Chains A and B, each alone.
Chain A
Amino acid sequence: SQQGEEDPQALSIQEGENATMNCSYKTSINNLQWYRQNSGRGLVHLILIRSNEREKHSGRLRVTLDTSKKSSSLLITASRAADTASYFCATDAGAQKLVFGQGTRLTINP
């Protein structure tokens, strides 16, 4: 069953602005991952944050994890047109299964 919820469902911003997406989940996790999906394509792994970590950076990406609130956020700084895509969080609760959130459709306007 789907356990992740993301908000907003859709986000449209101007190029150069920052984009923040949030993800909430329901059960205990080993780690949480963020993926990007361009329209009609497969998923690209962006970043993984373990349950004992609170913040992680990778280039223009910043991910936070609050296990007490069962939530995570993905911040994309200085957005570019190429960042236009859908972004999904996925939780790993064990048994090698990933459970995906509903996703945020991000549009970067030039």
Chain B
Amino acid sequence: GAVVSQHPSWVICKSGTSVKIECRSLDFQATTMFWYRQFPKQSLMLMATSNEGSKATYEQGVEKDKFLINHASLTLSTLTVTSAHPEDSSFYICSASPSGQGTFSYTFGSGTRLTVV
């Protein structure tokens, strides 16, 4: 089955630094990947849609300059949290859908726990 690898699984960083999270589709190509954010005991909120070879589409209220998304290949999307602050501490999850299979098939990464101190 389709596998999405997300790395790192957890990271602790100091305020003001940047953190990069990788999302890879291991056995399929994905022209579109999605980045979600989840606070403790809450649901997943879509942050942005990552499109291979073009700019990401951000949801309302998500700062594109703070959450930089790069989708340079059909198997890799990265989310960089720039100038991180404690309020950015959260669980970030990516998902991907195999290209050409419509919207019915989504595979999620295992998530990244970001703690900003």
Is B a genuine binding partner of A?
yes
Q: Which of B60, B106, B107 has the most CB of A within 10 A?
A: B106
Question: Does chain A have a CB within 8 A of B110?
Answer: yes
Residues of chain B contacted by A30 (CB below 8 angstroms): 103
Contact yes or no, A45 B106, CB < 8 A: yes
Question: Does chain A have a CB within 8 A of B75?
Answer: no
Output the nearest chain B residue to A9 by Cβ-Cβ distance.
B41
Contact yes or no, A96 B44, CB < 8 A: no
Contacts known (A40-B111, A42-B110, A42-B111); A92 close to B103, Cβ less than 8 A: yes
Contact yes or no, A42 B109, CB < 8 A: yes
Residues of chain A contacted by B91 (CB below 8 angstroms): 40
Residues of chain B contacted by A43 (CB below 8 angstroms): 44, 93, 95, 108
Determine the main DSSP class of B at the interface with A.
strand
Instruction: From the candidates A33, A41, A48, A88, name the one contacting B44 in the complex (CB within 8 A).
Output: A88
- Number of A residues contacting the other chain (C-beta, 8 Å)? 26
A96–B50 Cα distance when bound, in Å, is 11
Contacts known (A40-B91, A41-B111, A42-B111); A98 close to B106, Cβ less than 8 A: yes
A100–B106 Cα distance when bound, in Å, is 13
Question: Does chain A have a CB within 8 A of B49?
Answer: yes
Contact yes or no, B108 A101, CB < 8 A: no
Question: Does chain B have a CB within 8 A of A67?
Answer: no
A88–B44 Cα distance when bound, in Å, is 9
Q: Which of A31, A42, A48, A96 has the most CB of B within 10 A?
A: A42
CB 8 Å contact bits of A12-52 with B (1 = contact, 0 = none): 00000000000000000011010100001111110010000
Residues of chain A contacted by B46 (CB below 8 angstroms): 97-99
B interface residues (Cβ-Cβ under 8 A, vs A): 6, 32, 34, 41-46, 49, 60, 91, 93, 95, 97, 103-104, 106-111, 113
Going nearest first, the 9 A-B pairs with the smallest beta carbon separation are A42-B110, A43-B108, A42-B108, A100-B44, A96-B103, A100-B43, A42-B111, A102-B43, A103-B43
